[in-house]
Amino acid sequence: MILKMYKTISIGEVLWDIFPDYKKPGGSPANLAYHLHILGNKSVLVSRIGSDKNGVELTDFLTKKGITTEYVQRDDKQPTGVVNVEFKGDEPYYTIAKPSAWDYIEATAEILAEVKDADAICFASLSQRSATSAGSLKQLLLNTEPDCLKVFDLNLRPPFINREAIMQSIELSDVIKLNEHEYSMVSEWFKTKSLAEVLLKDNPNKTILITLGADGSAMYTSRGYYKENAHPICGKGDFVGVGDAFLACFTHLKLRNCAEDKILRLSNKYAAYVASQQGGMPEVPDELKGEMK
pLDDT above 60 (res 2) = no
What pLDDT sits at residue 236? 82
pLDDT above 70 (res 278) = yes
- Tell whether omega for the bond before 146 is within 30 degrees of 0, i.e. cis: no
CA–chain centroid gap for 33, Å, is: 8
Q: pLDDT confidence of 120, banded at 50, 70, 90?
A: very high
DSSP secondary structure letter of residue 157: B
What pLDDT sits at residue 3? 66
What pLDDT sits at residue 199? 96
What pLDDT sits at residue 1? 46
Q: Are 133 and 102 in contact (CB under 8 A)?
A: yes
Domain boundaries, the chain: 7-106+116-284
Give 36-93 pLDDT, tens digit per residue: 999 999 999 999 999 999 999 999 999 999 999 999 999 999 999 999 988 887 778 8
Give 96-108 pLDDT, tens digit per residue: 999 999 999 999 9
What does the alpha-carbon distance between residue 44 and residue 30 come to, in Å, rounded to a whole number? 9
Name the CATH superfamily, with its identifier, for domain 7-106+116-284. Answer: Ribokinase (3.40.1190.20)
What pLDDT sits at residue 93? 84
β-bridge pairing 207-211 and 175-179: parallel
Q: Which percentage of the chain shows pLDDT scores above 90?
A: 88
Rounded (10°) angle between helices 28-38 and 242-255: 50
What does the alpha-carbon distance between residue 118 and residue 125 come to, in Å, rounded to a whole number? 20
What pLDDT sits at residue 67? 95
Give 160-196 pLDDT, tens digit per residue: 999 999 999 999 999 999 999 999 999 999 999 899 9
